[in-house]
Amino acid sequence: MTRPLRLLMCPPAEFTVRYEINPWMDASRPVDTARAVAQWEALRASYVAAGHAVEIIEPLSGMPDMVYAANGATVAGGVAYAARFFVAERREEAPAYLARLTELGLTPYDAARVNEGEGDLLVAGDMLLAGTGWRTERAAHAEASRALGLPVVTLELVDARFYHLDTALTVLRGTTGEAGDVDVAYFPGAFSAASQEALQRLFPDALLATETDAATFALNALSDGERVWLGAGSPSWEARLRERGYTPVPVDVSEILRGGGSVKCCTLVLR
C-alpha cells in the first residue's frame, strides 16, 4: 500500500498563453480558461479520491503560468528550496510559492542560483536527479544538494522540446524520497550521450520511452508508486505502464498542455 502524498497545486484561473517561452506555446491561439480550470479540478479530484492531500496556492494576478506548481520549488526533508526562474515572465512566482510553503510548515531555503524547481530537480529515492541545459544552471545543483541534504546526479538536456527534466523523465517509484528501490522511465533522446550513459548505469532496467510518447508529454506524470497520473492521449504508453505493474490514471489536461506542461507540471510534491 502506498503512503499518501501531500501535494501543492495552483488553480489555473489566470491561465492563458500570452507569451512564448517554450516550443509548445502558441500565443496566436485563444485559450479556454474555463476548460483549463475544469480539467485541473478533475486532476485535483482524482488525487483526493486516491487518498492524497492537496494543498492550494492562489494564483497571482497576471501570472498565467502559476498553474505549473512543480516549477515553484523543490521540497524534501521538510525543506523548501526556492525556485529562481530563468524566464523573466515567471520571476514573481518564486517568492509567492516560498511564502505559501512556509505557511504550510516547511523550512524555506532561498535560492541564489537559477533553477525552476521540481521541473528540473526530481527526488528519486535518496538522490536528486538534476536537469540542466535550458532552464536550470549547473551551479544550482550543488546549492540544491546543500539545501535538501541529498546527493545530486547532473543530467544534461539537449532537445529544446524537453526543456525541463520532468518532461523527459518520470520517477515511477521512489518519488517520496525514501531510500530503497527506485524505478524510472525516460526518453533517451532528450539527454546528452554522457547523461544517457549515467542513466543507464544508475537505472539499467529503466522503462524507455519513444520520441512519440515523449512528445505527447506522457513522461510529465506523477506516480505514487502504484498509480501513474498522466495526460490522456498516450494509450501505447499506458499499456507499457500496465506491463510494468503500474496502474495508469489518464486525465484530460489538453488545454493546460498548451502552455507546455502536463500533469506533473501542475503538481508539486511536499516531502
> pTM for this one?
0.97
Residue 28 within any structural domain of the chain: yes
230 strand-pairing partners: 250
Q: In what order do the strands lie in the sheet with 268-269?
A: 53-56, 6-9, 268-269
- How, if at all, do strands 6-9 and 207-208 pair? unpaired
Give the model confidence (pLDDT) of 244-270 as tens digits.
999 999 999 999 999 999 999 999 999
Residue 1 within any structural domain of the chain: no
Give the model confidence (pLDDT) of 166-206 as tens digits.
999 999 999 987 777 899 999 999 999 999 999 999 999 99
Residue 205 within any structural domain of the chain: yes
CA torsion, points 34, 36, 37, 41, in degrees to nearest 10? 140
State the CATH number of the domain containing residue 218. Answer: 3.75.10.10
Residues annotated as part of the active site: 164, 265
Mean pLDDT of the chain: 97
Residue 242 within any structural domain of the chain: yes
Number of domains in the chain: 1
Cβ neighbours of 18 (radius 10 Å): 11
Residue 254 within any structural domain of the chain: yes
| Residue that is written with C-alpha cell 498553474 in the block | 67
Give the model confidence (pLDDT) of 1-39 as tens digits.
678 999 999 999 999 999 998 999 999 999 999 999 999
Supply the range of the domain harboring residue 113: 6-269
Q: Kindly state the helix (H) or strand (E) to which residue 129 belongs, with its residue range.
A: strand 127-132
Residue 16 within any structural domain of the chain: yes
Q: List Cα–Cα distances, 219 to 38, 110, 174, 190, in angstroms.
A: 22, 29, 16, 12
| Cα(31)–Cα(237) distance, integer angstroms | 27
